[in-house]
Amino acid sequence: MEPALERRLPAFGSWLGFVLAAAAAVAALWFLERIVVAVLLIFFALVVSIALSAPVNWFIRRGLSRRLAAVTTLLIFFGSIILLAALVIPTLAGQIVLLSHRLPQLIGQIDEQLSDLVASYPDLQGFYTPQATSIRNAVPSASELFQGLGGISLSLLGAAALAVVFFSTVAYVVLDPRPLLNAYLGSLPRAYLPAGMRAYRRAAHSVIGWTKASLVMGAIQAVAVFIFLSLMHVPAALVWAALAFFADFIPRIGGYVMALPPVILALTVGPMTAIWVAVYYLVSNEILGSVVAPKIRGAAMQMHPVLILFFTLAFALAFGLLGAIVAVPAAAFFSAFYSEFYMKRPLRRAEH
């Protein structure tokens, strides 16, 4: 073999290895992008399992065996979900049917009020024409609604399948978390085992603190919503209060998502009622979400509120609603592992 050819072969081999590594990285990123929903869902299932470990340990301290404590906790957990679904779903479906029946009349009333407003203020006539800006034009027709039922049905089937996977994962982990914990510890080098265990315990403590803080804030929000909506005579106030209970599990975003149904339903009572309900949710979410909740959650999780808000915004923009749900637990794990593996790393002496 010629010397020049021998010098070219190692260079060709290095370039080939670089191309193969880049192709593998691109394929891995493509695959991760495809399964990101599954990753987030499994991660949230593990978070829920960690949160449920608190009542499991409580039952164990009361004398129950580990297996019986886990079964009791799961029965309470799933029973609460079934009870909430039985309370919310039938009433919510009935309110949707009621709103659909009253929607044409409601749209007519709003159009009439807009026309009266324009007649009272002639300067607004350039911005409003009944034919172009009527609310009726913004409402889909019945045929358009029925055309979307197929897609909605498929979405519901997909959501049901994901729910089965999610709750099955929660049940498996709560009943026997040791295989996952052993797999996690087994993946760490021996020198990092103490730091890895401390990081996990710290993250678990933060997740449990997040759960407790969210339950406290949810209870405050639910009581306040029920009282206000009852005073405003908005139908199904108990249902919206139950939904508001879970809104604080999604910081800054959940409150506004849960506000949309009662505001729309308040239109059946009157436009001014809907405005007052919207103002109430805006003020309540800003006060509780910006002042009260960050302090309570930050103290319970031992994390700075800015880190929580950053993770919530970043995950919501990157992964949507599911990302917003898992953002705070992800911040807890990031803070714990960053502290143990980076902040507490041994400092290297400068080489002379």
Asked, for residue 281, whether it belongs to a domain, the answer is yes
Q: Quote the CA–CA distance of 256 and 286 in Å, as a whole number.
A: 10
In a domain, 226, yes or no: yes
- 203 CB-near residues (< 8 Å, 6+ apart): 50, 332, 333, 335, 336, 337
pLDDT for the residue numbered 122: 63
Identify the pLDDT of residue 142.
Answer: 44
Q: Would you tell me how many other CB atoms lie within 10 Å of the CB of residue 208? A: 20
Give which of 253, 249, 258, 250 is closest to 225, Cα–Cα. Answer: 258
Query: Is 15 inside any structural domain?
Result: no
Residue 33: pLDDT over 70: yes
Has residue 24 been placed in a domain? no
How many domains does the chain divide into? 1
Which of 3-7, 74-78, 116-120, 170-174 has the least mean pLDDT?
3-7
Per the model's pLDDT, the better-predicted residue between 286 and 333 turns out to be 333
The structure's pTM equals: 0.73
Choice among 109-118, 200-209, 314-323, 328-337 with the minimum mean pLDDT = 109-118
Which carries the bigger pLDDT value, residue 328 or residue 106? 328
In a domain, 123, yes or no: yes
Pick 86 or 54 by higher pLDDT. 54
* pLDDT at residue number 257: 78
Position of tokens 């994390």? 303
- Which pLDDT does position 351 carry in this prediction? 44
Displacement of CA 103 from its chain's centroid (Å): 30
Tell me the pLDDT band of 13, cut-offs 50, 70 and 90: low
d(CA 195, CA 213): 27
Asked if 304 contacts 272 with a C-beta cutoff of 8 angstroms, the reply is no
Within a domain: residue 25? no
Q: What is the pLDDT of residue 145?
A: 42
345: DSSP letter: S
Of residues 284, 292, 297, the one with CA closest to residue 224: 284
Amino acid at residue number 36 = V
pLDDT at position 86 is: 83
Tell whether 314 is covered by a domain.
yes
Confidence of residue 68 (pLDDT cuts 50, 70, 90): very high
DSSP tag of 189: -
- pLDDT, one tens digit per residue, over 223-256 is 989 999 999 888 878 888 888 888 777 777 777 7
Query: What is the pLDDT, as a whole number, of residue 123?
Result: 61
| pLDDT reported for residue 150 | 45
CA 225 to chain centre: 20
Position 27 in a domain: no
Q: 67 pLDDT band (50/70/90 cuts)?
A: very high
Give residue 11's pLDDT: 53
Q: Which domain holds residue 155?
A: 35-138+145-343
pLDDT tens digits, one per residue of 262-306: 887 787 777 788 888 989 988 888 777 767 777 777 777 777 777
- Give the model's pLDDT for residue 148: 46
pLDDT of residue 129 exceeding 70, the answer is no
**The most confident of 158-162, 183-187, 227-231, by mean pLDDT:** 227-231
C-alpha distances in Å from residue 333, one per residue of 79, 168, 236, 301? 29, 23, 38, 11
Residue 51 token pair: 């949160």
Q: What mean pLDDT is reported for the chain?
A: 77
Tokens 């449990």 correspond to 208
Give the pLDDT of residue 352: 42
